[in-house]
Structure 1
């Protein structure tokens, strides 16, 4: 494989390192007939999460974006609340199927939109990959995001919405913030990507340091074998990336205190929005990566020194998939109407799973007030429709 800058395939390699989700088996219980008649786990979760409020919204919708059918879920207990668009990572690692683990509290304060990008999840399962794969570029996917923001503003009658990008999704999200700041209450970057070469250098140094500290001879040998990493021009081979990511993930640089990613992969098996066919669309991750790599190797937001909308960073203290020190230093150079870094001391790259309560707290306490000041929230003490 040709030489590439490795940060761009971090999330997909995380999935590869985690391996497939485990299918658990057990002996049939004595009351097997009763159990067989019980609702499926997906149906139970779907029913438990049902939004019954009269002004609520709970939709799983196919929409046309960028000339293809793409899927979004829209959930909130009062459609008058501000809209928050979550742009998932990967590339092609849809957030929708595991978001049920943490998202429900958000829905009291936001109308939350999960979007399966082209080449990912339900969108991948719906379209012909032979036609869509050639269109997977940074420019097209940023344009898709821009189009979706415009659609959501019109659908909900909003002048502005919130955009939250995670990992690869921060590339799209920051692009939207640059292009359409007047459409955003604020942009939130979670695991923000800034500079690919520095990303690899710091992640490699972390893995080396942990290997020495733990006296892990196998890790030390495998990491030494890929030196220098990255090369002077920032390039690395695919095999080098695999070796580096293996140990970054294994030492908790993706999820602090965990050596793999199976907890998220297994949660997808219970997704109330997904079918088995949708889950099988993970096979298209590789195609998305191949298409995006040429642009991602050149990507560097270091020269972005001004944003015309508020920006917040959610940074995991132990994140070595997209090392937080890079984005924190970058934000110091940025001029914006409002900016702040929120540190997650017990998280790496997956703080929505690692510290979900703290993510929720910052969204409501520190970020939603921007919409409150603009009058873009539901009245808190107003009786519900029909009460």
Structure 2
């Protein structure tokens, strides 16, 4: 019996040793990959800027990353979409740093900001609260980077926040840029449903027709049921061009410096945390947000960069109704809702061509030769 106990003890020690070796090896590998990413992200330019840290905003301390090759360039504040804090994938946006000082902001319910708050979300925090945080951050950036105005980019869910920021405080911004632009969730859901139904009725996808007919058209109660329909679109239709696999995204996230495993786990779990800790009333208020109450008059240039597969025909009527000193709708071929990340170099070229000149011209306010009446601008196809 004593020999058996000895062997059991030795076996337990062996298992523990192997476990420690595996964990230690994984940690060492991750550390090496993080070092490699840090080297690729390093900015050596004499007039460059590379900063990251927490900034105290009205709803709490929030993670902000500032990167650029020349501090004299215009500042571009990125308001990320739901579930994708762009700071975690800063390497994707490196090509933008030649033209802009790019600012990545983890909103209070995402990324390192959520981890900093212990994974807890204020159930009453909605769009207006994020707008307040965003305006405070813009004011902070103006002072920190010595800029009278900054460019503002909103992606998907973040475009609700950024568009409201642009309307409330146009004095802070040189140009508004939207991608995956939110306009009216209910109307867009019906638009996508009708689009899928039309494709299904061609006879190419009888199984899709059966599923859509069984569901019926939106709106649904609860609204979250829409996700079951939304999940059908990429199965039967083009919704993105070339894109990364989930494995590539996870590997990229694991190799990101400044992000602990706790940060990453909190980020991965953010969707569940939001659903659990936020009340249904707040969820509905966010879900049913519409651009119309903001009005059609904006006193700064408006640029919408939309993926070809991201239903630009839905955004166009809202865009056509805008009255602004300059506006442009840019369509990126062969890409979709995630064009900003999945086709980041091409997206950066669109920023260079269509946004950078406006950001420079409007950095100190309306240029003297800017017409007061909005020009008729044809979309770039």
TM-score (norm 1): 0.78
Counterpart of 1:97? Answer: 88
Q: CA deviation at 1:221?
A: 2.9
SS in 2 for 1:343: strand
Counterpart of 1:115? Answer: 105
Counterpart of 2:262? Answer: 277
- Is the CA contact (8 Å cut-off) linking 1:117 and 1:141 kept in structure 2? yes
Q: CA deviation at 1:268?
A: 2.4
SS in 1 for 2:283: helix
Which residue, out of 151, 155, 177, partners 2:144? 155
Equivalent runs, 1:356-367 vs 2, <5 Å: 356-367=344-355
Q: CA deviation at 1:257?
A: 6.2
Q: CA deviation at 1:260?
A: 7.7
- Is the CA contact (8 Å cut-off) linking 1:223 and 1:243 kept in structure 2? no
Residue 129 (structure 2) pairs with residue 137 (structure 1): no
- Is the CA contact (8 Å cut-off) linking 2:152 and 2:176 kept in structure 1? yes
Deviations 1:206-258 (A, max 9, x none): 3334445574444333322211x21xxx4443563132111123245542467
| Bigger mean CA offset, 330-339 vs 206-215 | 206-215
Segments of structure 2 that go 5 or more residues without pairing to the other structure are: 1-24, 365-381
Q: Bigger relative contact order, structure 1 or 2, given CA contacts below 8 A and separation 6+? A: 1
Counterpart of 2:303? Answer: 312
Which residue, out of 180, 183, 194, partners 2:169? 180
Equivalent runs, 1:35-114 vs 2, <5 Å: 40-90=32-82, 92-101=83-92, 103-114=93-104
SS in 2 for 1:360: helix
Which residue, out of 336, 339, 342, partners 2:327? 339
Structure with more of its chain in helix, by fraction: 2
Counterpart of 2:118? Answer: 128
Segments of structure 1 that go 5 or more residues without pairing to the other structure are: 1-32, 377-387
Counterpart of 2:361? Answer: 373
SS in 2 for 1:169: helix
| Bigger mean CA offset, 309-318 vs 354-363 | 354-363
- Residues of 2 paired with 1:283 and 1:318: CA distance? 28
- Is the CA contact (8 Å cut-off) linking 2:301 and 2:358 kept in structure 1? no
- Is the CA contact (8 Å cut-off) linking 1:97 and 1:273 kept in structure 2? no
SS in 2 for 1:151: helix
- Residues of 2 paired with 1:263 and 1:167: CA distance? 22
Closer, same or farther: CA 240–253 of 1 in aligned 2, 3 Å:
farther
User: What root-mean-square deviation, in Å, do the aligned CA atoms of Structure 1 and Structure 2 show?
Assistant: 2.7
Counterpart of 1:199? Answer: 188
- Residues of 1 paired with 2:158 and 2:88: CA distance? 16
Equivalent runs, 1:224-239 vs 2, <5 Å: 224-227=213-216, 229-230=217-218, 234-238=219-223
- Residues of 2 paired with 1:312 and 1:143: CA distance? 23
